[in-house]
Amino acid sequence: MSDRLPAALTRRRASLPLLAVALCLPPFYLDAFWLRIGLFSMAAAIGAVGLALLSGTAGQLSLGHAFFLAVGAYGYAWLAGEPGPGLPPALAALLAVLLAGAAGGLFSPVAARVKGVYLGIATLALVFLGHHVLLTADSVTGGFNGRSVPPLTLGGFAFARSDPEPTVLGVPFGAEERLWYLGLALFAFTWFTARGLLRSRPGRALAALRDSETAASVMGVDVARHRSAAFVVSSMYAGLAGVLLALAFRRVVPDYFSLALSVDYLAMIVIGGLGSVAGATAGAVFVTALPLLMTRYADQLPLVTAPGSAEGAVGPTEAARYLYGAAIVLVLLYAPDGLHGLARRARDRVRRRRSRAPAPDAVVPPPSQPTAARTKEHTP
Amino acid sequence: MTDRTTTAPPVLDVRDVTVRFAGLTALDGVSFTVAPGSVHALIGPNGAGKSTCFNVLSGLCRPAAGTVTLGGTELTRLAPHRIAALGVARTFQNIVTTHGTVADNLMLGRHALSRAGFAASALRLPSAVREQREHLARAREIAGLTGLAHHFDTPVALLSYGDRKRVELARALCLEPRVLLLDEPVAGMNAAERARTAEVVGELRAGLGLSVVLVEHDMGLVMRLADDVTVLDFGRPIAHGTPDEVRRDPEVLRAYLGTDATGEDAA
């Protein structure tokens, strides 16, 4: 198909380096608060992409995403830290992701047989089980108080504060600045791999499973194997997100990895638009950034009070939850394909208007082809 | 996959297949043999068990008794995806396409013939990328063969009914099947579309030498394409033979038209 879309594709190829440069700039201009929002958003986006693959593409509901995030976060903290094996942090991070995948694999006898909403109920058990283990297995998890997360080091470079803070172009590079680039790299890796998956053999097989199990199986798709593989892959993305979250928080506590977190991830992929990588990212940014921004600007917002100020008042976190609850309702009512679908339609409209106007350099693609290409990447 | 198309397809042998759904006997001792490279039609009134028979052949339904063998391989114990990998492809009576474009659907048909797994696809290894490109080229060729070339990148949801039926046919062909099961390929099509589909099936059989099992209500099409016909009624095979023989068989006439007003079966 690539040979058919010269204009649209070259435009996209040209905008990619620009986007990359733009994403590298924030550490030079924004303070730690904004960088932390970005960092949490990137971590959430990685996890949301994993869930989008499972729920959006393969049609398997999971409420157990928080469990696999916890496996990644605690796995890293334990593998790299004291008490624990104290492995080199980079190796520990890799193993933590594999550990999350293995945890998903252990659940795959269930994940391969149970479908759709029923899997959602089955995975609910994982969250409660995980939470219980985190609270009770003191020696590994640190119990209720959690444990601190050792910083990641790569070839002598630590993604944490160091005492004489090095400056790059006059900007001091603390933990947030450094972690930003780590997050960016992991996020880029996630996009690259997830889009590769969606546009090739396994992605098509998963989408076929969601649309019609019967058709998929007579076309040669091993239903059980693909269902469990989707679950494992989704768990690995969750594990990676967990590692990054742990590094950003610098401390992991059990209460963070609750059912509410799983629901947050579902909210991300619904708001963003099911089954698309871009949608999952947009949803992740929305759901992550909103409560943080509302906390920061609580004093300037009507009806919202600073955290813990007065009884009966709406705190910023609750207000953010109301807002994205409302966002989910609005999305389901008016834009079932989420933010991604809205953006796509807006882009269509702009392009149609542009193609009606005289073409600047006569390489306007015939309208049917870009439509087809866009529908391909978006599998609702 | 090339050896599949050059060698003659194996014999598909259905022996005494019986299927029961909670007391209802959907198929009762059905036997027939599809000779290599022939078109074998399965006809009968509504509810005769034709689609159930297809579900047995493609592994979606496990018979209570009987065997189905493809060149000596027993199919009734195999999962649908294994049967597909042996080169048995089918279409459905009610169109079952997936979301996405015609290309996506046809590439799904290439699933059993390609290897790229999750890791290779995610990391976009050169082998996976190359494989995808090769299969895409073949899928495009098959789209051309079935008259879908100009719709290759069109979302299936935007196609007409006849074109969607053709997508199903093309997708089945993408498996490079040795046995093709067509469940009412021209149902609901207009005359021109019917003629075109009949032409494609005829070409396929001549060009690729594959065996075709055809369920169809359009008797004109059956008479034109089929070498052998098996007639089912209430799950029992009632007649067998060439189209001409079957057309004159009194049992067949009775099943389709009912007996005279005096016959007790009509009640």
A220/B85 touch (CB, cutoff 8 Å), yes or no: yes
List the beta strands (DSSP E) in B122-210: 179-183
B153/A373 touch (CB, cutoff 8 Å), yes or no: yes
The answer to whether residue A375 neighbours chain B at the CB level (below 8 Å) is yes
Find the CB nearest B100 among A194, A207, A215.
A207
- pLDDT of amino acid A48: 93
pLDDT of residue B187 exceeding 80: yes
Of A188, A206, A184, A344, the closest CA to residue A279 belongs to A344
Give mean pLDDT, residues B209-215: 89
Same domain, B124 and B2: no
Same domain, B67 and B15: yes
Which of the four CATH numbers 1.10.8, 1.10.3470, 1.10.287, 2.60.40 does domain A2-377 have?
1.10.3470
Looking at the whole model, is its pTM more than 0.90? no
- pLDDT of amino acid B56: 92
The answer to whether residue B108 neighbours chain A at the CB level (below 8 Å) is yes
**Residue reference for tokens 């190829």:** A13
Find the CB nearest B90 among A204, A205, A218.
A218
Residue ranges per structural domain of chain A? 2-377
Distance from CA of B122 to the nearest CA of A (A): 4
The answer to whether residue A202 neighbours chain B at the CB level (below 8 Å) is yes
Which are the contacts of A244, defined by CB distance < 8 A and separation ≥ 6? Answer: A39, A42, A43, A46, A182, A183, A186
Distance from CA of B4 to the nearest CA of A (A): 16
Of B40 and A157, which is predicted with more confidence? Answer: B40
Of A264 and B252, which is predicted with more confidence? Answer: A264
Domain presence at residue B182:
yes
Give mean pLDDT, residues B2-20: 76
What is the domain-level CATH number for residue B53? 3.40.50.300
- DSSP assignment letter at B49: S
Same domain, B162 and B182: no
The answer to whether residue B119 neighbours chain A at the CB level (below 8 Å) is no
The alpha helices in chain A, defined as continuous H runs, are: 6-24, 26-29, 32-51, 65-80, 89-106, 108-113, 117-136, 138-141, 175-198, 201-211, 213-218, 223-249, 259-272, 277-296, 316-334, 338-356, 368-377
Locate the chain B residue with the closest alpha carbon to A237: B122
Same domain, B53 and B184: yes
Find the CB nearest B121 among A197, A216, A368.
A197
Of B90, B87, B84, B41, the closest CA to residue B229 belongs to B41
Distance from CA of B127 to the nearest CA of A (A): 12
Find the CB nearest A196 among B108, B124, B153.
B124
Domain end point (choices B175, B192, B221): B175
Q: How many residue contacts between A and B have a Cβ separation below 8 Å? A: 123
Distance, in Å, from the CA atom of A149 to the CA atom of A250, rounded to the nearest integer, reads 5
Record the tokens describing residue B120, joined without a space: 């290779």
Residue numbers of chain A with a pLDDT score lower than 70:
1-13, 156, 161-164, 170-172, 302-313, 356-380
- pLDDT of amino acid A313: 67
If one counts the domains in chain B, the total is 2
**Domain of residue B105, residue span:** 98-175
pLDDT of residue B77 exceeding 60: yes
Record the tokens describing residue A43, joined without a space: 């971590």
Please report the residues numbered 64 through 93 in chain B whose beta carbons come closer than 8 angstroms to any beta carbon of chain A: 79-81, 83-85, 89-90, 92
**Residue reference for tokens 């496990």:** B62
Distance, in Å, from the CA atom of B104 to the CA atom of B171, rounded to the nearest integer, reads 9
Domain presence at residue B266:
yes
Domain presence at residue B18:
yes
Which are the contacts of A87, defined by CB distance < 8 A and separation ≥ 6? Answer: A79, A80, A95
Locate the chain A residue with the closest alpha carbon to B134: A1
Same domain, B131 and B114: yes
- pLDDT of amino acid A364: 42
Backbone angles phi, psi at A262, to 5 degrees: -60, -40
Domain presence at residue B92:
no
Find the CB nearest A214 among B60, B104, B116.
B60
Domain end point (choices B175, B204, B221): B175
Domain end point (choices B135, B157, B175): B175
